[in-house]
Amino acid sequence: MTQYRDTDRAQFEIFKSLPRDTPIEMLNLVQFFDKAEYPADHPLADKGLSGADAYANYGAETASVLEKVGGKIIWRGGFDVSLIGAPDERWDAMFIARYENAGGFFAMVTDPDYQRAVVHRQAAVANSRLIRTTPQDTQGFFG
C-alpha cells in the first residue's frame, strides 16, 4: 500500500484553484505510527509517546484554531473492516471536518498556532488521506 503523510504540491495547487467561497467537508483517514516520530530536538522526542498520543496533542492544540475559522468536526467513527479496498488498509482515526468555506481551511493551515501544533501531526501520522468534498443534499437515494 502506498503511504501518504502530507499533501503533494501539485494536489495542493488543484485544491487552491477550486472555489473558496463555498462550504467544504474534509474527509480525514489517518493511520498512526506505533511510536511517535518527533524531531530529535523536540521536547517530546524521548518521552515514548505513541502516534495516537501525538495526534491527541495535535487535536488539543488545534481545536481552538478550527473553531476560530468556523470549522467543526461533524462526524467521527471507529474503523471496523473494509469491505471494498486493500485488506491491509486500516484507519486509526476517521472524521469529517466541515468548513463554512474553503477560505476557512486556508486560514487554519496558515494560522501561527496551527503551524506550531502541526509538529504533533507529523510525529503521529504514518499514512493518511485528506479528501475535499462538496456537501450535497441527502434527499433521495444516490440521486
Phi and psi for 46 in degrees, rounded to 5?
-110, 20
45-70: per-residue pLDDT in tens?
A: 999 999 999 999 999 999 999 999 99
The listed CATH number (3.40.50.300, 3.50.50.60, 3.40.980.10, 3.30.70.100) that belongs to domain 23-133: 3.30.70.100
Percent of all residues in the chain with a pLDDT value above 90, rounded to a whole number: 76
Res 140 pLDDT > 80: no
Q: Provide the edge-to-edge strand list for the sheet that holds 93-99.
A: 71-77, 93-99, 24-32, 125-133
Q: Any idea where the domains of the chain sit in the sequence?
A: 23-133
**Over residues 57-85, mean pLDDT:** 96
Cell numbers given for 15: 485544491
Cα of first residue to Cα of last residue in the chain, in angstroms, is 32
Report how far apart, in Å, the C-alpha atoms of 69 and of each of 51, 62, 110 are: 26, 11, 11
